[in-house]
Structure 1
């Protein structure tokens, strides 16, 4: 059976052991257009009949920010998709994990979006659920952080600014904007704060990474996600190609990150994710209940994972399905009354 969550060079391990090798990503190359909307509808029916709980991931691609008319069209498409997918979900299927990824919408848009989701999905919004959101230091204010907390988000992930977007190296090194968002998160009562740290840019050196890491450790985030810019997480995919450093420098930068974070008392869960020993993920790993899904490590491996938005990936039982990645095709499918599915993978299908 094909395992699309593992690289070919990685030994097969149980997803709940938390020992996957760093930089192992979903192998979407196995996806093919033989999987479509009908397959997703069948999987949703099975999920509904068995009343499996849900993990929901909604993507707002940051690259649409520069084109206002595209963003307007995209949110109209999102509303259509939420209605279309939501009508195939039972009220008994509780959303136990929710992630709002990519661009954080402005407060008014954010409230409208969450209202649409609540009408179609069973959100509970209590302290036991795992509702998280991506934010970035360049476009997030204290007011936005307050709105996010009021809407029920408990976990916040702070993205690193990228000099590929016109930011200076000095601005990248400056800890003040991240400190401000961490202060806001603590003030408004978020349960966990995660900060990303990328390495391997051509302009980075082992010394500059050491200094940056030291400032982040001083800010005491609950989690730190360390990644190689050559293989960035999904939220940075829109930044395009980058000039990367030499292999020896990158190896040293990675070693510095791992050694310093372990010395600071963080625990390495896997995939470059470091957490404090009392973190929910660390406890789940200790108890053998840590799982992997499309977004990374989770305590909710038993949930069916629904992806909503441009290029979003769903994992419903054994089915993997991906939405169209081009905005035009995504909107066209929805306007035709279909789901936005364009490709995927099933154990019984072939390309």
Structure 2
């Protein structure tokens, strides 16, 4: 694989190609999920097309947050009433009992993730209970060799909670930081002193967590090039194993909480680009490898090693090392990938709870991948994970002639090559250092569902 630290900042290319497009955590993307698809048919096809002996990845969505962060676009429930958690968990247990009958088959669970919301909103006892129910229905590892991770708000995690998480099997954590400056934090309603974050970090390390990720967001109110450099310096000193640097997309018409953000205080598009360029350079200088899009990792981290070995994968949690796992997701709005099927649960708690009570499951919409989807999904995965595509490998795997199969895409690929986004040599498409930041745009050329005039409403901007 090509070196993953070669990034060339070409502002002209970025401005020309920076439109809206999918993040390709799935292909087909969620826009193709059909609410008219029969839930029973989706499940039946999933059971029929899954490898019942392959390992599993489990995801649980805990939607509750005690406080609203104004920038947030996640599916969440803002409440300070902790009593709301138990009825929701009881519903999750009913759903879990059903889906384990469909998919468990004693398959080893190599990956597990709790996302939100704020998973640590629930009590220590409830977290232990949730993991106990999971172990009852699925074959969790007990050798600490799984990739068991949880998203943590440092404001909602005391030392006792960190110990409980380690004791019940978690070995990776992801900390939401976003920005270290109080002015920015106040503007987005997330005041979080650096000392608080450092305390959680130190406690996690003392309990032997294997990997720590931190999330940052650029494009928030009052951020400048200099202020975000200070945030980066502070975070680099904390020495996380991975970093996710997300672009804030201001869409107050879609996400009500964003109406609290004064658009006049947001950095200009030019400043955002400068912040991103500085961020990439700073992290590369600090020794992090550029994994792709908004992800960075230390060179000895499993993500970086998987990319080097050609084994990196991408799913709804982002980049991952578990390409061989079906993803079984539980809880409100969660998305599963089973065999040839993607499906999503009901989006609000009332609908989710009602569906589980009636059916023991809550599938709302989904899509069954056809043969063309399978081919294009693999092409997009190779490009977005490895910045390279061996067309000969695709030809052998799917018994096609690449140039003939993708005849309609050749003009666009030639344009990419002419503009310096890709190089094509001996059947290998290689994304150039200048093209890596625009990998989503390159992948869009192989997306059969996006009109070629590139009307991409509903997606965030690439950069």
TM over 0.5: yes
1:179, 1:22 → 2: CA distance? 35
Q: Distance in 2 between matches of 1:125 and 1:240?
A: 42
Q: Does residue 1:272 correspond to 2:272, yes or no? A: no
**Aligned residue number for residue 88 of structure 1:** 102
Equivalent residue pairs, number? 325
Equivalent position SS for 2:300: coil
Residue 213 of structure 1, aligned match among 207, 229, 232: 232
Q: 2:162 aligns with which of 145, 150, 160?
A: 145
Instruction: Specify the alignment match of 1:64 in structure 2.
Output: 77
TM-score by length of 2: 0.65
The runs of 5 or more residues in structure 1 that have no matched partner are 1-20
The 3 A distance-change label for structure 1 pair 346 and 335 is same
Q: What whole-Å deviation, never above 9, does each CA across 1:28-79 have from its counterpart, x for those lacking one?
A: 2111113342134314433666322211111101343514454333222111
Quick one: distance in 2 between partners of 1:296 and 1:91? Answer: 26
Instruction: Provide the alpha-carbon RMSD of the alignment.
Output: 2.8
Partner of 1:230: 249
In the other structure, the counterpart of 1:28 is 30
> Residues 238 and 217 from structure 1, CA distance in 2 versus in 1: closer, same or farther, beyond 3 angstroms?
farther
1:85, distance to aligned residue in structure 2 (A): 0.9
Does the residue aligned with 1:336 lie in a helix, a strand or coil?
helix
Query: Where do 5+ consecutive residues of structure 2 fail to align?
Result: 1-19, 65-75, 374-448, 450-463
What does 1:19-168 align with in structure 2 at a 5 Å threshold? 24-26=23-25, 27-46=29-48, 50-62=52-64, 63-64=76-77, 66=79, 67-68=81-82, 70-102=84-116, 103=118, 104=120, 105-160=122-177, 167-168=185-186
Instruction: Give the distance between the partners of 1:260 and 1:48, measured in 2 at CA.
Output: 43
SS at match of 1:178: helix
Farther-moved stretch of structure 1 (77-86 vs 240-249): 240-249
Which sits farther off after the overlay, 271-280 or 43-52? 43-52
Q: Does the 8 Å contact 1:22/1:271 carry over to 2?
A: no
Q: Max radius of gyration: which structure?
A: 2
Q: TM-score, normalised by structure 1?
A: 0.85
Q: Once the 2 structures are TM-superposed, how far is the Cα of residue 86 of structure 1 from its aligned partner?
A: 1.3
Residue deviations 1:276-305 (CA, integer Å, cap 9, x gap): 000011111111111111211111111111
CA contact (8 A) 1:175 1:216 kept: no
Question: Does the 8 A contact of 1:58 with 1:308 survive in 2?
Answer: yes
